[in-house]
Amino acid sequence: MLARSVGQFLHCYKMLECENGPLTLLGISPPFVLSSEQAVMRFVADTPGAIGYVSLCNIHTKIDVLLWVGAGHVLDSAPDYDCHK
């Protein structure tokens, strides 16, 4: 895979096909791409072991937050932010 161009890699990854067969047989599977942050939240809430990322103001109580990230660094706790501005 390293000897491929970026375009070849992306094509291979998107199609899940390489000369050795589907990437899933190699233990690699692409992330799901969902249409909205609400869809990400539903998917994470309904899928055991799933993770996703959403903006602070879209988090709801059915989800456990694993990591807070702000301005390029990891935060110790949830940022103090007014989502109703």
CA dist 40 and 37 (Å) reads 5
- Residue 83 reports pLDDT greater than 70: yes
> What pTM, to 2 d.p., does this model score?
0.57
Instruction: State residue 1's pLDDT score.
Output: 44
pLDDT tens digits, 16-56: 555 555 555 555 566 778 899 999 898 888 988 888 888 88
Provide the CA 22 distance to its chain's centre, in angstroms. Answer: 21
The whole-angstrom separation of Cα 30 and Cα 49 is 15
Domain residues of the chain, as ranges? 1-30, 32-85
The amino acid at residue 5 is S
Most confident of 11-15, 20-24, 26-30, 62-66: 62-66
Please state, in angstroms and as integers, the Cα–Cα distance from residue 57 to each residue in 38, 74, 75, 83, 85, following that order: 11, 17, 16, 5, 11
Is pLDDT larger for residue 14 or for residue 49? 49
Structure tokens at 60: 């709801």
